[in-house]
Amino acid sequence: MNAPRRIVRRPPVATVGEWPAHWPEPLRRAHAARGSSGQDAAQPRLASLLPPTGMLGLDTAAALLRDAIAADRRIVVTADFDCDGATACAVAVRGLRLLGARHVDFAVPDRQVHGYGLTPALVATLEPLQPDLLVTVDHGIACHAGIAAAKARGWQVIVTDHHLPGPTLPAADAIVDPNQPGDDFPSKALAGVGVLFYLLLTLRASLGVKADLASLLDLVAVGTVADMVPLDANNRALVGAGLRRLRAGQGCAGLNALATVAKRGLATLTTSDIGFAIGPRINAAGRLEDMRLGIECLLTDDAAQAHGFAEALHAINAERRGLQDEMLAAADAAMARIDTAATDAAEGFCLFDADWHPGVIGLVASRIKEQRHRPVIAFAPSGNDDGMLRGSMRSIPGFHARDALALIDARHPGLIDRFGGHAMAAGMSLAEPALPAFRDVFADVLRGTLDPAVLHEHVDSDGELPHGALDIAHALALRDGGAWGQGYPEPQFDGEFEVLDWRVLGGKHLKLELGLEGRRLNAIHFSGWTGDAPPSPVRIAYRLQ
């Protein structure tokens, strides 16, 4: 039985301020409810981007890169194997070349061979590249051993990251992470690709050259949306600018090709298209294959080559979805074996299956978290026959995923091998024999730190739409009216409808025909089939499409 969902309307906010005359009232209302007081706040432009002032380590990192470019040194970018890491890597390689670097290469760990981040194992494989300077993107803040191994070889290391640091920082030559201690940058919400973009801006200013770094904003937008960081005003300025480039056909060949294979029109591309179509295809390479494929897709300027890469990523994503469905069925079966009363009373879940793939456990944790509205950790064997498990945690608002793991590590040193992450998602590795003890400790942390109030799920609504607003004009205005996403959600409304007809699609979705004041409206409830006919009348939360 799922946690109860309650539709909660956002409090009404006066839509005072400078709004375009053609914006309909529901769009103004939605922006006002999210804290915007006019179009400039609702759709921030690049001119309003926060200056780099205050971001610790930027000047030092820029000076190291400036010297490396001047001396024609070899620079190697090391990336994380998710979409944020892939886009950050592509931005780094493209940007450094734009700024005059002639010897730039990249490397990305194999999830099963090297583990996460800049590990000593990955460092050993970089020796044939003969790097003088390593630049980590979207990782590094917790890579003490790997950075030490690189330094021992005489290489300089710049860390660019956005994850939360541990009690100590690694011994890198420069660290750029807005979440490190002492950093005064006003926004802590930048994704890894956003941090790297700020470093390039600082480097360009240091070099005193002209280079079109705005050409990289399509990649910045995709990485920012896909990593589900909060879209504060600064991130919305970055994402909005990137979306405009993509819609104008000015995106890189790889992103254009990915949109094509995903059957998304560039002229009307949305953040939702990025989150549900483009991002997963890039992510799939890192989950099941080699993320080099995803990065090469983002680096090529040859349209035909980009299309070939995109088709390959599309096929890998289809394989990932099939594997995910099998794992989700196993997870659902495991949940069904748990007593209903115990399930409803549980503060969270810790799942393990010896047949699960370590690249897909994050998706399993996400699905169970969405179904049960509880923090979830899913474990799978590492795939290296080393007796280790990989774990992926997804959390709910009010329970900080990485802080929970840090608390476990502090109370039981050595129980967790490695961990990292942020509020809503974290990853870890654990010796398989330690799993029963970890389950008990995780349950203790949940009982001791989780506020029971956060277990009651609610669905925010921007209120009811007037009958006349249920039309294509309002749907298009709402779709195109903002850079919607995490922390600045797409407008959602609620209302009571008659269910005139319904049928099941694909064994799990509900196709509905709804009635309202004599009108018939089509609707679809993804993953909405529970085995019971939908009630009528029914109050639903919905988005216009």
Dump pLDDT digits (tens) for 308-340.
Answer: 999 999 999 888 888 888 888 888 887 777 766
Question: 202-206, 332-336, 480-484, 512-516: lowest mean pLDDT where?
Answer: 332-336
More confident residue, 353 or 223: 223
Distance CA(271)–CA(484), nearest Å, equals 6
Residues 6+ apart with CB under 8 A from 440: none
- Dihedral in degrees, nearest 10, Cα atoms 253, 259, 265, 266: -40
Residue 364 — pLDDT band, cuts 50, 70, 90? confident
Distance CA(402)–CA(395), nearest Å, equals 10
pLDDT at 286 over 80: no
Helix (H) or strand (E) holding 6: strand 5-9
Read off the pLDDT of each residue in 42-64 and give the average, rounded to a whole number.
95
Read off the pLDDT of each residue in 42-46 and give the average, rounded to a whole number.
95
Give per-residue pLDDT as tens, 164-178. Answer: 898 899 999 999 999
Question: 337-346, 348-357, 381-390: lowest mean pLDDT where?
Answer: 337-346
Residue 3: the pLDDT is 46
Residue 4 — pLDDT band, cuts 50, 70, 90? low
Residue 284: the pLDDT is 84
DSSP one-letter string for 364-391 = HHHHHHHHH-S-EEEEEE-SSSSSEEEE
Angle at 135 between CA 129 and CA 137, to 5 degrees: 120
Give per-residue pLDDT as tens, 193-251. Answer: 999 999 999 999 999 999 999 999 999 999 999 998 999 999 999 999 999 999 999 99
Model confidence, pTM: 0.87
